[in-house]
Amino acid sequence: MKMLINVPETVVADALRGIAAAHPELTVDVERRVVVRRDAPVAGKVALVSGGGSGHEPLHAGFVGPGMLDGACPGEVFTSPVPDQMVRAAAAVDSGAGVLFVVKNYTGDVLNFEMAAELAEDEGIQVAKVLVDDDVAVADSLYTAGRRGTGATLFVEKLAGAAAEEGMPLERVESLARRVVRRSRSFGVALSSCTTPAKGSPTFDLPPGELELGVGIHGEPGRERRGMMTAREIAEVAVDAVLDDLRPSDPVLLLVNGMGGTPLLELYGFNAEVRRVLDARRVPVARTLVGNYVTSLDMAGCSVTLCTADEELLRLWDAPVATAALRWGR
C-alpha cells in the first residue's frame, strides 16, 4: 500500500509536528504526546481532556481549542495513550476548577484513564470521567465490554466543552456530558478495510462487492456482511438501527461521518438519503454536520450518529467553537 509517510515508527510524531506547524494556537509536546490549547489553563474554567489511539483524526487533537477540548493525548495508531500522558495533559490545563476526562469505551482507554484519574487526584487535581458508549451495532466487541464509543464522542466534546466555556462547575459539566451520552446513538458501515502503517496491508478481509454493517472504528466486526447496497438502502439500515434504540422525542443533532476514505460528494449524497429516512420516520433534524470527523485511517464507509437535543443542548451546540477541525461563531 502507498502511504504519505516516512517510516511507520514515526508516523504519529511526524503528524504532531505537522499539527504544531499548522496551528500556533496549540501547544504540542511531540515527545510526550500531549496537545493543549496555548492559553491553558483558563482561570476558573473546568478543563476537558480526551484521547485515544491515533488513526481517528481529527479526533481528538483536532478538537482542542476554545469551545471544545483543553487537551488531548494521542496514542500510537489504534493504541490507547498511557496514563502519564493523561496526567500531564490534566496538569497542563487544570485551573483549579477540575478536569473532565472524556473516554471512549475501549478497554485500554478505560483502564488507562481510570489510572490517570487516580494519579491526577494524588497530585491535587479534581477529576471526573464520562464514558462514551453510543454504538448500537453490537453489545460487546474485540476491544470493549459493552458498546463501543464512536461518533457521539464529538457531540460530548462539543456540548460539554461549550458548557465549560460558559463557566459551569465540574459537577454540571459532567452531568451534561452524561446526558449527551444517554441521548446519543451511532451505527457504522464499512465499504473497505483500513490499513495501519505498521501492517501496510488491509487489517481485515472484506471481499469486493461486500460491505460490513455495524463496523467499529478499528475495523471490529459488525452485525453482518451483505452484498454492496445503494446509499438509499444503507441509510435505511443505519437509521433504523439507531432509531430502534434511541426513539427520540425531541429534534436531533445529526452527524453523517466519513470513515476517512469516502469523499464528501458521496457523504453529502448519503446525507440526503439519511434525511429522507428521518423525514419518513417523522424525526425532525435541528442541526446537521457532514464530514470526516471520527475516522478509521483510510477506511471507505460512514457512520450515522443522532443525539436527541433539548433547548439547552441546541444552545450549546450553536455556541462558538474554534478548533483545527470544527469552528463557527467566532
60 is catalytic: no
218 is catalytic: yes
Say what angle helices 107-122 and 83-93 make with each other, to 10 degrees: 50
In 3D space, the residue among 143, 140, 151, 233 whose CA is nearest the CA of residue 185 turns out to be: 151
Q: Taking CA 274 as the corner, what is the angle to CA 273 and CA 278, rounded to the nearest 5 degrees?
A: 120
- 60, 104, 185, 218: the catalytic one is 218
Judge if the upstream peptide bond of residue 251 is cis by omega within 30 degrees of 0: no
**Can you point out the beta strands (E) in 41-86?**
47-54, 71-77
In 3D space, the residue among 250, 254, 261 whose CA is nearest the CA of residue 310 turns out to be: 250
Please give the grid coordinates belonging to residue 261. 476514505
Judge if the upstream peptide bond of residue 60 is cis by omega within 30 degrees of 0: yes
Place of cell 452524561: 178
In 3D space, the residue among 79, 83, 39, 37 whose CA is nearest the CA of residue 61 turns out to be: 37
- 23, 37, 45, 56: the catalytic one is 56
Task: Tell me which H or E stretch contains 266.
Answer: helix 264-280
Please give the grid coordinates belonging to residue 181. 451520552
Which residues does the annotation mark as catalytic?
A: 56, 218
